[in-house]
Structure 1
C-alpha cells in the first residue's frame, strides 16, 4: 500500500549511526537490568510508562519503516503500552540459581538472535516478577548510553522522599589544571597532531588487516551468533577513588582500565599458564562520549536545539591496548601504564576521527560498507569496554527503590564485551562472553574484583610510607 505525501513528509530519516545499528551484522539492542527492593506492581508500572516522557519522545513513539529504496525512516505512531510491557511470572533459568544468576542468564539468552518486533517502537520492558527485576530492552538506533540513561532517569525520583530527580556526578575527569605559557600551548598542539596521526594510522590498519594475536579469549567472525553467558563484577566507588589518589591526576576511567588490564592478565594465567609471552598485546574497543558538556544532562537539555547537546548516538571509538604481564610486586603498575596510554589517547583526535569517518563512509558509500568496516575492527580486536555514569544516590521507579542498575548489549564478534554502570556508590561491570570460548565468566569477574582490591591495598600502603 502506498503512502500519502503528508506521511512521507512527516517521516524522519535515521541518522547514519542508527542505520548502522540496524544492519544484521551489527544489530545492537541495549539491555538494562533494574533490580527492585520490593515486588513489582505491573499495573502501576504500565500506568507510569503511559504518563511518562518516554512515550512522548519522538524516538520512543515511532516505527522504523523503509521506503521503496530500502532507506530507513522514523514514523510517529500511537504507543500501545500493553504491547511493550511483558510480564514473566514464573522463575527464569535454573530453579536452583539465585536471582542475580537467573537475571543474567535471561539477559544472556536475549543477547543472541532475539530481535525487537518492528511493528511497534523499538523498546520493551520485561518484568521478571519472581526475581523483582525489570529488563529494559532498547534498540541502539534510538540512542547511545548517555541519551538512554538520561531518558530513564527522567522517569525516576530520589529514594529520600524529596520527589526530586536524581543527580549525576562527574565522569571522572582529572582535576589537573593546565599551566604554562605559549610554549606549553605549542607543545600541546604538537603532541595532539603527533598522537592523532599515530593513532589514526593504527585505526586504519586495524580496519584493513592488522589483528591481535589469538589467545584463549579471542573471538572472530561469526562469534556474535554463539551462545552467551553473563557475569557481574562488583566494585565500590570509594575503593576506585582510593586507588585513583595513589597516582597523580589519575581518573576513575584510568583505574577501570588498569583493573581490566590486571584482571585479564590474571585470567590468562589461569587459562593458559606459561603459554603467553610477556608484553603480549590484547586490544580493546572503547566507546567514548563526544558531547561537549561532560556528564549526563537532563532530557530537556538533550532535546533542546539550543543546548548544543544532540539526542541519539554521538560517540567515537578508541583502540585501547592491554599488555599481558605476570603478577609483579607493584599492582599499581597496571594503573600507571593504563594512565600513560589513556593520556596519549586524550591528546589525540582518534575518537572524533572514528566518528567523522564513520559518518562520511555511511553518507557516501552506504550502510553495507560502513558495517563491513566496523565489523572488521571488532574482528581484529579482542574485547569491548564502555562506562556510563549513573545516579549518585539511590532512586525509585513507581515508588519502588532500585537496588542495582546493570547494562549489557546484544552480542558482537568479540568473545568478551564489558559495560560498567555506577550507581549510589557502587559500580557493576557486566561481562558477557561467548560461553564456548570462555566457559567460566564468574572466574573472570573474580579476577577483576581481586585486581581492584590488590591495587587498593597497594595504594593504602603507599600513603602510609
Structure 2
C-alpha cells in the first residue's frame, strides 16, 4: 500500500478518497434475481467478454504512494478471484427474498472489499437464483455503476440490443416561447432572487448540521457508532403506474415528489405505531439525499461517461441535499403529504444546494484533507434521520446471458443512520430496499408495509378526486 509512485498511476478523485475513509467507507450492492437456475460458467464467460473488464476503474488496484496519497494502478484481472459462488441456501428463512435480504444485510456490516484486487466482486447465490454485484463507491456513483451494469446486460425482447436508457423525467416546457418582454425579465430576476435566498438558507443549514443542530430523537434515530450495529433488510415494492396516478392528482408533481410524500406518510404511520401520542404534530425528520449533477439527468450511455470532455463523466458526480419530511398524525387527506413534499422539493430545485455541497466537499477534501471531509460528512449524517436515494432503472425486461432478470434492487454498506432507503425502478416496478439497525428498528417488514399502504391510500384518494 505504501509503494512508490508510478507514472501510469491515476489519482483518486476527492469524492473517491472520501468513500475510503473508515467512517464513510461505502460499498454498493446491486442484487438481480434471475428466472432460471444460474449457469456459473455462462455468467463468467459473459463477464469475461463484457466492457467491465476493459474499464480502467474495474481493472485497477487502489494503492497508496509513499506520501500516503491514494492512486489507481492498472493490474491483471484474475476473474475467478472476483466470483464468490454459494451453492447452498444462505439462510434458514423459507423464501428467497428474505434469505437474500438477510445475506445483503450481513454484508452491509462486513469488513468490506479486499485491496489486494480491484474493488468489486460478483456473488452468485445459486440456491436463490440471485446475482449480487458488490462494488466500492470509490469506483463511481449510482448513475455510473448502473450504466456499467446495463452495458453488461441485454434486452429480453432483443438479446442483441442494449437496454434503453431513460431519464428521471421530462423537462417542463417554458411558457411564453422566446418572448422577452418586461414580464419575462421580471420573472427571471425574481427567479434569481429566489435561487439566492434558498441557496443561502441551505448553506446555513449545512453549516449548522455539520456543527451541532440535530433532529429530535425518535424511534428511528441513529447516531455516532450506529454504523457498526447489526442490520436487517426489507423490501417495499411499488408499481410505477400507481405512482403516476398519484402524480397526476397534483399539477406539476413528479415521481420524486410522490416518493417523498410516501416516505412522509409511511414514517408517520410507523411512528404512530412505535410512539403513539408521543410526538408533536409537524415534527421534522431530515433525510440526506444524493443528487446527480451531470448535465443530462438519469442514466447515461457508458461511452458518454468515459469521455474526458463529457459533462456526464464517469465517477462520483453528485451533491448532497437535506430533505425534510414532517410527522402528521391526521390522514384525512392523504394527498396533503404529496402537496407538502412538492412545495419542499420545488424550493430545493430553485436552490444551488446540491452544487454547493459538491463544491464545499471538494474544497474541504483538497485543502483540509480527507480526515476533515470525512468528519464533516459523518457529522451531517449523525445529525439527520435517514438516507434516501432513487435511481431510474431500465424500462424493459433484461437478460443476463439468456436468463431473464426478475428484479433489480440496490442497497449499500452502513452509515450512522438507523434507516437507509434505496429505490430502483425496473420494468414498471420500483423496489425500495429498507436497511435498518435492528436494535433500533426491529420490524423493517412492518415499515415496508407502511410505505406500500401509504401509496395505495394516496392512489385511492387520487382516483376519487378525479371522479369528482
Name which of 194, 213, 217 aligns with 1:191.
194
**1:391-438 deviation per Cα after TM superposition (whole angstroms, max 9, x unaligned):** 000011111100000000100000000000000000000000000000
* 1:8 counterpart SS class: coil
CA spacing shift, 1:162–1:86, aligned 2, 3 Å: closer
Aligned residue for 2:99? 102
Aligned residue for 1:361? 364
CA–CA distance in structure 1, aligned partners of residues 2 and 318 of structure 2 = 36
Aligned residue for 1:49? 47
Aligned residue for 1:127? 124
Q: Which aligned pairs between 1:16-27 and structure 2 lie closer than 5 A? A: 16-27=14-25
| Residue 409 in structure 1 maps to residue 412 in structure 2 | yes
Which of 176-185 and 417-426 deviates more? 176-185
Name which of 201, 204, 212 aligns with 1:201.
204
Deviation at 1:87, TM superposition (A): 0.4
Aligned residue for 1:29? 27
Contact 2:2–2:68 under 8 Å retained in 1: no
Q: Which aligned pairs between 1:153-168 and structure 2 lie closer than 5 A? A: 153-168=150-165
Contact 1:234–1:427 under 8 Å retained in 2: yes
**1:245-297 deviation per Cα after TM superposition (whole angstroms, max 9, x unaligned):** 00011000000000000000000000000010101111000110000111211
| Residue 443 in structure 1 maps to residue 446 in structure 2 | yes
Name which of 63, 72, 78 aligns with 1:80.
78
Which of 29-38 and 157-166 deviates more? 157-166
Aligned residue for 2:179? none
Name which of 146, 159, 162 aligns with 1:149.
146
* 1:362 counterpart SS class: helix
| Residue 222 in structure 1 maps to residue 225 in structure 2 | yes
* 2:57 counterpart SS class: coil
Which of 375-384 and 196-205 deviates more? 196-205
Contact 1:173–1:251 under 8 Å retained in 2: no
Contact 1:315–1:351 under 8 Å retained in 2: yes
* 2:23 counterpart SS class: helix
* 2:80 counterpart SS class: helix
CA spacing shift, 1:3–1:432, aligned 2, 3 Å: closer
Contact 1:261–1:322 under 8 Å retained in 2: yes
Contact 1:278–1:324 under 8 Å retained in 2: yes
Q: Which aligned pairs between 1:8-407 and structure 2 lie closer than 5 A? A: 8-94=6-92, 96-173=93-170, 175=172, 177-179=174-176, 181-407=184-410
**1:27-65 deviation per Cα after TM superposition (whole angstroms, max 9, x unaligned):** 000000010000111111111111111011000000000
Deviation at 1:304, TM superposition (A): 1.2
CA–CA distance in structure 1, aligned partners of residues 158 and 346 of structure 2 = 41
CA–CA distance in structure 2, aligned partners of residues 243 and 163 of structure 1 = 36
Name which of 430, 434, 453 aligns with 1:431.
434
Name which of 430, 455, 461 aligns with 2:464.
461
CA–CA distance in structure 2, aligned partners of residues 420 and 176 of structure 1 = 27
CA–CA distance in structure 2, aligned partners of residues 127 and 299 of structure 1 = 25
Deviation at 1:299, TM superposition (A): 0.6
Deviation at 1:187, TM superposition (A): 0.8
* 2:233 counterpart SS class: strand
Deviation at 1:172, TM superposition (A): 2.7
Contact 1:242–1:459 under 8 Å retained in 2: yes
**1:136-156 deviation per Cα after TM superposition (whole angstroms, max 9, x unaligned):** 100000000000000000011
Q: Unmatched 5+ residue regions in structure 1?
A: none
CA–CA distance in structure 1, aligned partners of residues 304 and 158 of structure 2 = 25
TM-score (norm 1): 0.98
Deviation at 1:176, TM superposition (A): 5.2
Contact 1:176–1:249 under 8 Å retained in 2: no
Deviation at 1:306, TM superposition (A): 3.4
Deviation at 1:170, TM superposition (A): 2.2
* 2:415 counterpart SS class: coil
How many residues were matched structurally?
Answer: 462
* 1:141 counterpart SS class: helix
Contact 2:163–2:396 under 8 Å retained in 1: yes
* 2:410 counterpart SS class: strand
CA–CA distance in structure 2, aligned partners of residues 113 and 85 of structure 1 = 17
CA–CA distance in structure 1, aligned partners of residues 451 and 173 of structure 2 = 28
CA–CA distance in structure 2, aligned partners of residues 8 and 339 of structure 1 = 51
CA–CA distance in structure 1, aligned partners of residues 320 and 241 of structure 2 = 28
